[in-house]
Amino acid sequence: MQEAGSEEQGRDLTAVWGGRLVAVRCAHCGKAHLVAGPVPSESAPSEAEGTEVPARCPFCLQGPVELQPASLPEEAPEQVVPYDISEERLGRILERWAQGGWFRPDELRGGVLVRRARRYLVPLWLVDGRVEAAWRADVGFDYQAVSYQDRYRQGRGWSSQEVTEDRVRWEPRVGRLSRAYENVVAPALDDHRALMRRLGDFDLGQRADYSPEAVTDAAVRVPTLEPEAAWPGAEVAFVRVAEEECRQASGADHVRDFQIEAEYDDLNWTLLLLPAFATWYREGERIWPVLVNGQSGRVSGVRQASTRKANVTSLVLGAIALILFLAGGLLALLGAAVPPVAVVGGVILILGLFLAVVAPLPAISVWVANRRSELE
């Protein structure tokens, strides 16, 4: 029964998106994706042809995925922002990002990360519409005011000094607005803001028409906000655009307390896909995802230090400290008969005590650094 549903779903998606896709949902993070092939895994990299359910979530890479029920996009995207990062450049970007720090995990290497990288497409709404509105606001104009300050100096007495201050003159304004706006940005995902904080900005002027090749070997986040649910975010964006245009029309430098009573007509919604890469590395028993902006190359991820390497270093230092302490104690005892030996034994004892104090530091510092990086 599941296979029949999967085949029906695949046919529907292929008819709409023009590519071999299957919809899946992660049991760990709850994110839904359209995938065009298996997610590569270290233990079993797959070169299988056709469409398969991936072993791991393309986003969090933590949980298993299952076939997504029928709540799927009814229409394919109309536009995409092309990738501007080649595989060679991606390798250099990830290598630079992975460098630095003590006790770097074996898998935190540019070559490993780029080998596991998968194209990851993020949906975004672009809205066109006409706004008819009445507005009011306080607009501010920058100006400079000259004043004088009296200062007392020893031996010179009081003197006045000219001071120039930057000030803002606020004036009320009211007006009407009748404008058509294009490509106003609205979120298509519940976690849009958090995702954009990680990926950074995109140049939306660099757009191309959608084609099935855009989703080849890629994972696509399924939009969670249809136009009706995304409208509050779109309305806020329309107001911001209108506020900036009213500021410019007033010839002002600032605007505050902007209020608008608007009607919106001729709304047209365009689904756009933003380019990113998703990759990962393993430290200990956990997988750490890494996201890369496919246009700017900005990298977002947690750079963990290897607790295993730090613990081994602490154990080695502790073992050396113990050996030095025992050797120094033995020499100190022998020094009762041979005084010079006692001096050597004392030096070795002090060195052993120093190493005993230093030995826990690698393990402790790595634990603290990893905890801090997780919270950032």
Question: Could you read off the pLDDT of 100-159 as tens digits, one per residue?
Answer: 778 888 889 989 999 999 999 999 999 999 999 999 999 999 998 887 777 767 766 677
Percent of the chain with pLDDT over 70: 86
Radius of gyration of the chain (CA): 31
- 146 occurs within a structural domain: no
Determine what percent of the chain falls in helix, strand and coil, rounding each to the nearest 5: 35, 35, 30
Count of structural domains within the chain: 3
Model pLDDT, residue 300:
93
| Structure confidence at residue 266 as a pLDDT band (50, 70, 90) | very high
pLDDT at position 169 over 90 = yes
The answer to whether residues 79 and 67 belong to one domain is: no
Contacts of 56 (CB under 8 A, 6+ apart): 39, 41, 62, 63, 64, 65
The answer to whether residues 66 and 206 belong to one domain is: no
pLDDT at position 176 over 90 = yes
The answer to whether residues 197 and 346 belong to one domain is: no
- 168 occurs within a structural domain: no
- Give the range among 43-52, 59-68, 332-341 with minimum mean pLDDT: 43-52
- Inter-residue contact 297 to 200 (CB < 8 Å): no
The answer to whether residues 87 and 132 belong to one domain is: yes
Contacts of 58 (CB under 8 A, 6+ apart): 33, 35, 39, 118, 120, 219, 278
Give 187's strand partners: 124
Per DSSP, the residues of 275-308 read EEEEEEEEETTEEEEEEEETTT--EEE-----HH
Q: Which residue has the higher pLDDT, 29 or 332?
A: 29
- Inter-residue contact 34 to 23 (CB < 8 Å): yes
Model pLDDT, residue 247:
93
Distances (CA, A) of 31 to 23, 47, 61: 11, 24, 11
pLDDT at position 228 over 50 = yes
pLDDT at position 279 over 90 = yes
Mean pLDDT computed over 171-194: 93
- 366 occurs within a structural domain: yes
Model pLDDT, residue 102:
82
- 164 occurs within a structural domain: no
* Closest by CA position to 262, among listed 183, 177, 174, 182: 177
Phi, psi of 239, deg, nearest 5: -65, -40
* Closest by CA position to 199, among listed 289, 300, 103, 329: 300
- 28 occurs within a structural domain: yes
The answer to whether residues 264 and 132 belong to one domain is: yes
Model pLDDT, residue 47:
38
Domain hosting 1: range is 1-72
Last residue of a domain, one of 46, 72, 98: 72
The answer to whether residues 84 and 221 belong to one domain is: yes
* Closest by CA position to 21, among listed 63, 61, 77: 77
Distances (CA, A) of 216 to 18, 58, 210, 291: 10, 14, 12, 19
Residue for token pair 């990893």: 370
Distances (CA, A) of 89 to 25, 39, 83, 106, 199: 31, 22, 12, 21, 17
The answer to whether residues 242 and 207 belong to one domain is: yes
| Structure confidence at residue 168 as a pLDDT band (50, 70, 90) | very high
Phi, psi of 188, deg, nearest 5: -110, 0
- 148 occurs within a structural domain: no
- 11 occurs within a structural domain: yes
Percent of the chain with pLDDT over 90: 44
The answer to whether residues 221 and 284 belong to one domain is: yes
Model pLDDT, residue 221:
92
- 357 occurs within a structural domain: yes
Model pLDDT, residue 349:
82
Last residue of a domain, one of 289, 304, 319: 304
The answer to whether residues 313 and 276 belong to one domain is: no
The answer to whether residues 297 and 328 belong to one domain is: no
The answer to whether residues 88 and 134 belong to one domain is: yes
Model pLDDT, residue 44:
39
Last residue of a domain, one of 274, 304, 334: 304
| Structure confidence at residue 310 as a pLDDT band (50, 70, 90) | confident
The answer to whether residues 107 and 233 belong to one domain is: yes
Mean pLDDT computed over 268-296: 93
